[in-house]
Amino acid sequence: MTITINDIRSAAEALCGQVEHTPSVPSDAISDAVGNDVILKLENLQVTGSFKARGAFIKLSKLSDQDKAAGVVAVSAGNHAQGVAYHAAKLGIPATIYMPEGTPFTKVARTEALGAEVVLTGRRLSDAWTAADRDVREHGKVFVHPFDDPDIIAGQGTVSLEILNDHPDIDVLIVPIGGGGLISGCAIAAKALNPEIDIIGVQSTLYPAMAQALSGEQISEDTGATIAEGIAVKTPGELTREIVRDLVSDVLLVDEIAIEKAVQMYLEGPRVVVEGAGAASLAALMTNKARFEGRKVGLIVSGGNMDSRLLSSVLMRGLVREGRLVSLRIKLPDTPGVLSRVSGLIGDSGGNIIEVYHQRLNYDVPIKQADLDVVVETMDRNHVHEILSALELGGFSVRLLDSDDGRQR
């Protein structure tokens, strides 16, 4: 089935009052960091924190009264589940969401709070798909596919319709890819509005299924845990891969560290919370600056549903990576006043001591000495070296525990 710009425009009309027309805003902080004029399409501010609410409404709103009465089924451990649950409740449609047994409790709770019945089954997402298929066959329910469906694709395409209506001079649109529903709809709309626009997809290096499918490679079976769960799809859609093949210029891969850095940049720059999948487009821009030099870039920030504990870990790891939070091991003589001297040297150098561990029982510590492990907040790597130098000049042997080579200073 061919999906056209008219389908996407019809979807946009249907979505009025049902979802947010999210902001498309320039970001000076990110533009300065990457050297491009950057526009952010903030789907993290969508009603359920993700673009998925768009396609879900279009699909559900087109069901017959008989199908609505029978109910709908979906498989998801995240944003698709919440999009379906949210609109099903508003439309009075019974919704059952199948999730793997290991799905984090917060995602289960959010989906149930939106009115859906959640069924936890199996250890893998494929087990949940099997259970959902059985429910559809046995009870005549409608399966709401997360990406490989014309109505879903048309709904997701309204994202680029909005950003290009707000900023028609964008040269490049960078879009995260999981199964391909978002980028398919965005590419159809964008190319209809501006045939010269460059559409770039982004995937995690751990889940490169679309890139592999397009290049004719065998799709990887062995994957790992990724911060970008929203695009952790092992098999792209049949419909979506053909659209991507026809309309998307390239699919870039980004590693986990690049995605972490992008999440951190969003929070420290424009002050927005973005999940790993939503940060993938910025990660691609950050790691391919030369490719996009001199071009106005639109970044689709696809969602902001990130676990608070994971977010805190990302930020702490970023501080360590940038040298703004370091662990030092200082060898001390076991004499009165030495702790005061160490803290004074660090404080006089502008460092802020966060944690202290005083250890006398390490096997390699002489009986009249001690190891002092301190976690210190600093300004940057240069500041770290100033603190190390101050300690050494004060007569202390010090080692930077998180250094690349672990050498004693």
What is the location of CATH 3.40.50.1100 in the chain?
Answer: 5-50+149-317, 52-143
Strand ranges in 177-286 using DSSP code E only, listed in sequence order: 198-204, 250-254
pLDDT of residue 362: 56
Q: Are 74 and 143 in contact (CB under 8 A)?
A: yes
Give the H/E segment covering residue 75: strand 72-75
Phi-psi group of 27: left, alpha or beta (phi > 0 → left; psi -120 to 50 → alpha; rest → beta): beta
pLDDT score at 71: 97
Domain 52-143 has CATH 3.40.50.1100: yes
Tell me how far the alpha carbon of residue 36 is from its chain's centroid.
Answer: 21
> Residue 398 corresponds to which tokens in the numbers above?
């010090």
* pLDDT, mean of each 10-residue run, the chain (409 residues): 92 97 96 95 96 98 96 92 96 95 83 94 86 95 96 98 97 97 98 97 95 90 82 92 97 96 94 95 96 96 90 87 90 86 92 85 63 91 92 91 50
pTM (2 d.p.): 0.86
Of 296, 182, 164, 154, nearest in space to 248 by CA: 182
Q: Say what the pLDDT of residue 409 is.
A: 40
Fold of the domain spanning 5-50+149-317: Rossmann fold (3.40.50)
Give the homologous superfamily in CATH for domain 323-400.
ACT domain (3.30.70.260)
Pairing of strands 369-377, 325-333: antiparallel
| pLDDT reported for residue 408 | 41
pLDDT at residue 366 in the model: 62
Strands 172-176 and 198-204: parallel
| 8 Å CB contact between 323 and 376 | no
